Amino acid sequence: MSETTIGVTSFPTTRDSSCPFDPPAEYAELRAQEGTASLACPVGVNARVVSRYADVRAVLSDPNLSSHAAPSTHVVADGQLDRPVAPGSLLHMDGPDHARLRRLLTPEFTVKRIQAMRPYIQGLVDDHVDALLARTGPVDLVQDFALPIPSLVICELLGVDYGDRDRFQEQTAVLIGTNSDPEALQRANAEVVGFMTQLVLAKMAAPGDDLLGRLIVRARENGQELSVEELVTLGITLLIAGHETTANMIGLSTLALLRQPDQLAALRADPGLAGTAVDEMLRYLSIVHFGVLRQATGGVTIGDETIKAGEWLVAALSAGNRDESVFPDPDRIDLRRGATAHLAFGYGIHQCLGQQLARVELQEVFARLHQRIPTLRLAVPFEEVEFKDHALVYGVRALPVTWDVEDDR
């Protein structure tokens, strides 16, 4: 079946405003056809779009597919596909260089270390719920809850002064936009690099008991001392990934659950459901909503097709997470589904390093917010909620909510 037959010739970037939680409808058409469609992307190249679950996993685990233009350059109209990979740019690196940095970082994200942070995260969530309940509403759940919690967590992990939170949040929002003004983008990048350089130099001079400090010491002890540039790039990557994705998941999943009262009632009745609920919402929302870009460096086989060296592919994570052959009735939220095999964190060697941290943060939010504020609801009509359609990480810009004054204080 050809692309013309299915009516899809350009990479889909627009969601149906009546179904803003669903990926573009074209993905279902792409999954139904034979093979992969080569679609025109905003960056100016054609890319084969891989939309079936098994094929997405195959793309993300194939060593002959490079991530050098990752994660979503294909949707940035003036994006640079051939930009040199900066030292320490974990998302864009392949092979031994990537493996070296990944090995150095992995001890910081073990299940044991992340579980040790759970009491701290529980306290943060409860403190912020207390702060919400001390007000009469309405409040912006994004600004007053979804953003500060993961920001505090990642600041604690990296050893960043929380007083600098507003400084980096404003600039990172510019950095992950797909339609940011070039001059604003340049200023934001310079600001974030300058901030992180100061932090790294201080940590190199006196490493503390935080992620950056331990990483510096571990690399030195292994005879693999990291350069300032490597540490700055790693620090920026972790800082952005550590708060931007989780914050957007908190806001977007809260809105989605408010729209599904039966599922929300089940979660309120059984906070122990938070574990499976988190994975289901990660699957359902897939906030890296444009997928990830890869380029073939050698012959690659996807299904019955051979991809030649130099060709571009997009692994459409949100499409794979809605593949009905793996997740029956995929367009429905089912908090008991047990969707642990979802693709929201990617797959293969570039699978999200901080996924356990994200899970714990989301589990604590799911297990506490709705139990302590059982009448939480939107304070504006749903149609007035603005979605981040032009950001690499999907979410809501603001989420005005309110509740009944007799809720637990």
322-359 pLDDT, tens per residue? Answer: 999 999 999 999 999 999 999 999 999 999 999 999 99
Q: What local confidence, expressed as pLDDT, does residue 137 receive?
A: 76
355-406 pLDDT, tens per residue? Answer: 999 999 999 999 999 999 999 999 999 999 999 998 889 999 999 999 998 7
Banded model confidence at residue 408, pLDDT cuts 50, 70, 90: low
| Mean pLDDT, residues 229-254 taken together | 91
Contact 223, 300 (CB under 8 A): no
285-308 pLDDT, tens per residue? Answer: 999 999 999 999 998 999 889 999
Q: Going by C-beta distance under 8 Å and a sequence separation of 6 or more, which residues neighbour residue 76? A: 42, 43, 178
From 45-59, 233-247, 250-264, 354-368, the region with the lowest mean pLDDT: 233-247
pLDDT at 190 over 90: no
User: pTM for the complete prediction?
Assistant: 0.92
Starting from the edge strand earliest in sequence, which strands make up the sheet with 292-296, in order? 37-40, 46-50, 312-315, 292-296, 65-66
Q: What local confidence, expressed as pLDDT, does residue 239 receive?
A: 83
pLDDT at 4 over 60: no
Cα–Cα distance list, 42 to 11, 45, 75, 91, 193 (Å):
8, 7, 5, 21, 27
Q: What local confidence, expressed as pLDDT, does residue 172 receive?
A: 67
Domains of the chain and CATH, by start: 3-402 (1.10.630.10)
From its phi and psi, is residue 288 left (phi > 0), alpha (psi between -120 and 50) or beta?
A: beta
Q: With helix as H, strand as E and coil as C, how does 254-279 read?
A: HHHHHCCHHHHHHHHHCHHHHHHHHH
Q: What local confidence, expressed as pLDDT, does residue 96 receive?
A: 93
Q: With helix as H, strand as E and coil as C, how does 103-167 read?
A: HHHHHHHCHHHHHHCHHHHHHHHHHHHHHHHCCCCCEEHHHHHHCHHHHHHHHHHHCCCHHHHHH
Q: What local confidence, expressed as pLDDT, does residue 277 receive?
A: 97
Q: What local confidence, expressed as pLDDT, does residue 169 receive?
A: 65
CA distance 201 to 222: 20
Question: What Rg, from alpha-carbon coordinates, does the chain have?
Answer: 21
pLDDT at 53 over 80: yes
Q: How many CB atoms lie within 10 A of CB 165?
A: 17
Q: How far apart are the first and last CA of the chain?
A: 59
Specify which residues 402 forms β-bridges with: 377
| Mean pLDDT, residues 47-75 taken together | 93
**Which stretches within 163-269 are classed as H helix?**
165-175, 182-205, 211-221, 228-258, 261-269
Q: What local confidence, expressed as pLDDT, does residue 325 receive?
A: 95
pLDDT at 140 over 60: yes
pLDDT at 175 over 80: no
| Mean pLDDT, residues 2-6 taken together | 42
Strands, E, within 260-396: which ranges? 292-296, 300-302, 305-307, 312-315, 377-378
